[in-house]
Structure 1
């Protein structure tokens, strides 16, 4: 470039500036107008929500929002107002979200929910009697002291300071009387039954978009992918691989994140990549089979794109759904899938690896449903009413994710230790609730004998409770409570604080019998199931496959095969973890995209849809379609496992024995010093105190995964946390070299 070119370039830059400035002013004005209209819409929604016969689905359609958005603004409409049937079929390009419990941190979202107004109710509690559970003995016995058997219903609700904090969600309650009792039923003609068909196996290929290396059963090639757009990937792959390849797993490169800096959220970048357009002759998949879903899944890190060309169908998926490949090349990743199938085959005769671990997990479980005539549940496991499923969706959280930052912990801590419960969920699948639950009101619970109360709390159950923390409490919180955000939870820990929440029996027992000081629990309402073992056979088979893969990885002489077996063992964990998540059956979220008008106008969205992103050519939207009539919907099972796993993070028996007493050794956050816990992540504890828990190799045992035995700054943000996590693992790995 010479001086003449430079001067000309400056002139072009000024022209762009002059063209851009008025557009930016218009955009600012438009954004201000949109903000005012959104405020008006929210106010109107709250006004309509006060009408006695208001329903969230009708308001959602009129507002152009999803049901979840309406419930966030008017909590009293959840969950009984959940839509009763799917909305009209969506246009081509929609996607049904895989029923998978995503355990990674959520992307940042813009909160729409506002704190309740002063004249609106701050708590939702049922009328009737209240059964209070007091101090349970710390020796592990089952005695429960009922401090006050009954209390009149006209007691004033707890003030906001003791119940719901500013901006927190208000959890729904079961309606009093006959209206609530009507929830306790099974859905007619809907039960989980063993399938009478075998899934079709799909051809797989594994592609590293950073290097261009493609591996499938027929060979290995290196492709020129250009910028790795959808069109370039499909064109390059099918110029080499046969049309029988129906799944392309991206092992590295994350092509959907290219250009992410131009978008506010990763999800917007992913949507833009998926909607950039396939090569000529290809369209977004619109058909649906026994194990095929139409359209794209827009996920910030593990998206799924689905396309078709005539009768040819293909998916582009992220290997991150199954495991972190940790730099493994595509050939090693393919070997991991081979080892995974070989490990599962002895336990599941008709195993087929499906697109995701959640789909695979649910399919494998369905093939363990009893069919022997006369066997209990041989006619299938009944699916609960939509109202109960909606209640569990709104009140049963997943794994505990919490960062405990200064001033709760010192600015600098003496060390960093990471311990993780390996294959933990398998530990909590031996007993689950089956059939239609029994309602246990406060009055019913108060009328029980102490033994009946104990049995109820140890049985599969889910309770609405008012909790009071001991005044001198100085450790982490024990029970989840609703926090701002659609599905956010936090763990109150302040001594003397009271709050109302829902929690599983495992957590209630932990709060009453923890090794430090019992919490005060008042039973407000509850669901109590018959105890069964619908998940036991399935999880036992997965545990055996997991253990065999781990053992092979330890002794194999070939380093690539060792790595393949390690990755395969993590895939088995994902099958269990996400398979359990599929039982939760969240409301179906469909997404889609529409082209902008010729002048850039935003087109009308389908009824009930909300705008989620906009690019130069398309808008993307999503719509909540409520709870489908899914024969495998069992949120009671997922809720029970999640509750037990959260309790085990705090205190649990290990497979090691105390040499003095012969009893199981205890482990968990409550067995570490107060003020030493830095974070929780699903099955892992991060602490500043040295951990010496013996690892026995059994599901649920704590394994040391990271260690830095020197002073560290306490993490203040998630970014700080992930840096320390990586450094801790690297330091611990280097110790063993």
Structure 2
């Protein structure tokens, strides 16, 4: 072939490439349309089962399907006689012959391989306990047992979940949802049509805000402080006094005094007292109502951070004034109104250095989400925004993705008399886990598909953004804390079994599953029942970097500023940045709405409500209102970050560049020394040699209570002891 012919063939090949690309797009469009039509047909077929006379053959003919396909979609239409169906079921109950060398009990699951880790024990002989290395020497790796990439290995049958959660005697196991088969399962690999997170086309406007100490009556109005007479401190009296001193006020932050707790002793619960205060009658003010179909009351009933929204009774459409708690943003810890106002000023200034259009909204959650929306990329794959998962998949993530780990570990796993109580807290913890997050439509991974992967592919899947339905077995000889959450009924919702041989079924994020397989003590047995594998992306990375930079600026200012008030304000502002990230992330979870409202006494209440309180005029209630059609609903992001944070409570790597130079976390403390886990911190019985560099994710020593200390029997007792430990450390006590 000469050069001229070669050049001509290249040109023809380019034309062919363009035609193929066009054809592929047409096929993809057609396939997408076909999938939607097929799903619509399945829904209509299922809907026809509501008719008593529905028959599979007639529906099959109308739908263009075989009868067997109709029965697969709607099993109620199965025309097989009951006797024959029973015989078939009995025959199917007899297990089919298993392939040689593989027990029949293993065919429905795939066992994840144990993962090796540099300078770490991969497996230790059972039942010998883990050996603690001296603090001044590096722990040496024990000889590792050979690791084979066997996706299916013979094991004893998994015990039922009822026999699993032995540490939760007061609670029973809770069954979690799984991914359904057939057309119903397709909704778990889909996004919501027409719902995408996009950059907002508008600029937020600041609201006129004042800060009020309800105990003293001090109110900040710009750069001056006035003293108000608040009367009986009802919402109406507070609004009258504040707007007289500062006309046009749209938001009042209460910095001290908590007037919503006045007379709380007259009510059975604190929530009842708050609801009664929010709805105290007033001739001049009425409850601001929302817009839309429900016309819901504007108040948010919360025990300690309620939100009251009021409008003038004479002109309810003229505007709204909010009464809120400063505790949404930070604990003022005795700071006066001037310092609190200065903290908000410093916060706004710090954020404006990274967002030219930053505005502080009513809550850190609203502010965090608004700031994130202004980091959505304008170029690249996600320039058009991030799609929102289907409602079914969001519901699955809400049901199976827990938040922070809260656990009080009781004797005999820890001593009755603690030699000391030492508190460590991870600094700005969640900021450490925003660099990678799941994006796009997930791919469903079945047990069979996982088993068919190579070991390298399995490890890659577990280390990717993923969410797994698993059966877990605690290894023999395990004598440390639990690693994976098990679902239970009751207030706790999740427990962390650690008894050797305990088995349970759960869901967990890839970070936790990977840690269970690769921890330096002993790999846990993980059987993959199924999972969701997302594309790795960085939707939160830019948002996190900017918030970390603002936090670092304010933290440094709180240490070096010459003025004591400014140092205190900068510290409070840095805590507010933490709240923006923490509650902004929680806002992505977008759990089913809990809305509140009021109904005059004697009128019928809406269906499905929970009564919060009642006075002579109205009944205050709340109810679940399902999911909003929220373009910023991304529970997959919150679940992934929470999973990474739970794993980091157990194991954290310290790096210099790419080199790992040390470890921290509960698994690097002595067995039996961990007393409490609390979201991003823990209580132990002794000091740890964990370095603190002041960076997000580092473990900071927060408290030290000299022992002996009686082991706390409840979370409330632990929190009291924790407060004593913080006070002792701050006073320069025993270290």
Bin of the TM-score, shorter chain as denominator length: 0.7 to 0.9
SS at match of 2:189: coil
Which whole-Å CA distance do the structure 1 matches of 2:446 and 2:222 have between them? 59
Which whole-Å CA distance do the structure 1 matches of 2:399 and 2:179 have between them? 12
**1:247 pairs with 2:213:** no
**1:355 pairs with 2:362:** yes
**1:129 pairs with 2:132:** no
| Greater Cα shift, 264-273 or 385-394 | 264-273
TM-score, normalised via structure 2 length? 0.78
- Corresponding residue for residue 718 of structure 1: 715
Say if 1:447 and 1:628 are closer, same or farther in 2 by CA, change over 3 A: same
**1:569 pairs with 2:574:** yes
SS at match of 1:414: strand
- Corresponding residue for residue 57 of structure 2: none
RMSD: 2.7
Say if 1:461 and 1:628 are closer, same or farther in 2 by CA, change over 3 A: same
SS at match of 1:518: coil
SS at match of 1:236: helix
**1:694 pairs with 2:691:** yes
- Corresponding residue for residue 82 of structure 1: none
SS at match of 1:663: strand
Structure 1 residue 707: deviation in Å?
1.2
TM-score, normalised via structure 1 length? 0.77
1:438-449 equivalences in 2 (<5 Å): 438-449=443-454
Q: From 196, 211, 215, give the equivalent of 2:216.
A: 211
Q: From 159, 162, 174, give the equivalent of 1:160.
A: 162
Structure 1 residue 130: deviation in Å?
0.4
SS at match of 2:648: helix
Structure 1 unmatched runs, 5+: 1-52, 55-125, 598-602
Structure 1 runs (4+) deviating above 4 angstroms are 140-148, 163-166
Which whole-Å CA distance do the structure 1 matches of 2:306 and 2:688 have between them? 37
1:432-471 equivalences in 2 (<5 Å): 432-471=437-476
Structure 1 residue 523: deviation in Å?
0.5
Structure 1 residue 629: deviation in Å?
1.1
Q: How many residues align?
A: 599
Which whole-Å CA distance do the structure 1 matches of 2:733 and 2:397 have between them? 45
Per-residue displacement from partner, 1:683-736 (whole Å, max 9, x unpaired)? Answer: 111111112211111110111111124321221112211211111111111119
8 Å contact kept, 1:613–1:619: yes
Which whole-Å CA distance do the structure 2 matches of 1:293 and 1:318 have between them? 21
8 Å contact kept, 2:555–2:574: yes
Which whole-Å CA distance do the structure 1 matches of 2:425 and 2:186 have between them? 41
- Corresponding residue for residue 551 of structure 1: 556
Which whole-Å CA distance do the structure 1 matches of 2:150 and 2:237 have between them? 70
- Corresponding residue for residue 338 of structure 1: 345
Q: From 329, 332, 338, give the equivalent of 1:325.
A: 332
Which whole-Å CA distance do the structure 2 matches of 1:492 and 1:296 have between them? 40
- Corresponding residue for residue 730 of structure 1: 727
1:300-449 equivalences in 2 (<5 Å): 300-309=303-312, 310=315, 311-372=318-379, 375-449=380-454
Say if 1:159 and 1:327 are closer, same or farther in 2 by CA, change over 3 A: closer
Per-residue displacement from partner, 1:267-317 (whole Å, max 9, x unpaired)? Answer: 11111111112x32321112459xx99601111111100011231311000
8 Å contact kept, 2:106–2:153: no
- Corresponding residue for residue 263 of structure 2: 259
**1:671 pairs with 2:676:** no
Which whole-Å CA distance do the structure 1 matches of 2:710 and 2:161 have between them? 38
Structure 1 residue 487: deviation in Å?
7.1
Which whole-Å CA distance do the structure 2 matches of 1:162 and 1:567 have between them? 44
SS at match of 1:550: helix
- Corresponding residue for residue 302 of structure 2: 299
8 Å contact kept, 1:181–1:439: no
1:500-539 equivalences in 2 (<5 Å): 500-539=505-544
Which whole-Å CA distance do the structure 1 matches of 2:285 and 2:428 have between them? 41
8 Å contact kept, 1:260–1:269: yes
Q: From 284, 287, 292, give the equivalent of 2:287.
A: 284
SS at match of 1:650: coil
Say if 1:265 and 1:127 are closer, same or farther in 2 by CA, change over 3 A: farther
SS at match of 2:250: strand
Structure 1 residue 463: deviation in Å?
0.4
Q: From 483, 492, 495, give the equivalent of 1:490.
A: 495
SS at match of 2:353: coil
Say if 1:680 and 1:210 are closer, same or farther in 2 by CA, change over 3 A: same
8 Å contact kept, 1:250–1:318: yes
